Amino acid sequence: MTDSDLTVAGLSVAGFNVAPGEKLATIKTITIKGHDTDLPIFLINGASGGPTLVVTAGIHGGEYPCVEAAARLGRSIDPGKLSGKMVIVPSANPIAFRARSIYITPVDGLNLNRQFPGDPEGTYTRAWADWLFNNIITAGDYYIDMHGGDMIEALIPFVSYNITGDTAVDDKAKEMAMSYGIRAVLEKEMWAVLPVPRTRRPRELVCQRS
Ligand SMILES: [Zn+2]
- So where are the chain's domains? 3-152, 156-210
Residue of higher predicted confidence among 25 and 154: 25
Pick the CATH number of 3-152 from 3.40.630.10, 3.40.50.2300, 3.40.190.10, 3.40.50.261: 3.40.630.10
Residue of higher predicted confidence among 30 and 200: 30
Kindly report the average pLDDT of the chain as a whole number.
87
Distance 103 CA to ligand 1 centre (A): 7
Distance 13 CA to ligand 1 centre (A): 24
Q: What percent of the chain has pLDDT over 90?
A: 71
Residue 98, pLDDT > 60, answer yes
Distance 105 CA to ligand 1 centre (A): 12
Distance 206 CA to ligand 1 centre (A): 21
Residue 210, pLDDT > 80, answer no
Stretch 178-202: mean pLDDT, rounded?
Answer: 65
* 68-97 confidence digits (pLDDT tens): 999 999 999 999 999 999 999 999 999 999
Stretch 181-201: mean pLDDT, rounded?
Answer: 62
Q: What is the DSSP string of 130-189?
A: HHHHHHTGGG-SEEEEE----TT-----EEEEEE-S-HHHHHHHHHHHHTT--SEEEEEE
Distance 16 CA to ligand 1 centre (A): 28
Question: Which run of H or E residues covers position 128?
Answer: helix 124-135
pLDDT at residue number 97:
96
Residue 3, pLDDT > 80, answer no
pLDDT at residue number 195:
42
pLDDT bin (cut points 50, 70, 90) of residue 17 is very high
Residue of higher predicted confidence among 94 and 14: 94
CA distances from 40 to 27, 195, 210 (A): 4, 36, 37
Distance 62 CA to ligand 1 centre (A): 8
pLDDT at residue number 202:
45
Distance 181 CA to ligand 1 centre (A): 20
Distance 146 CA to ligand 1 centre (A): 8
Q: What is the DSSP string of 50-119?
A: EEEEEEEE-SSTT-HHHHHHHHHHHHH--GGG-EEEEEEES-S-HHHHHHT-SSSBTTTTB-GGGSTT--
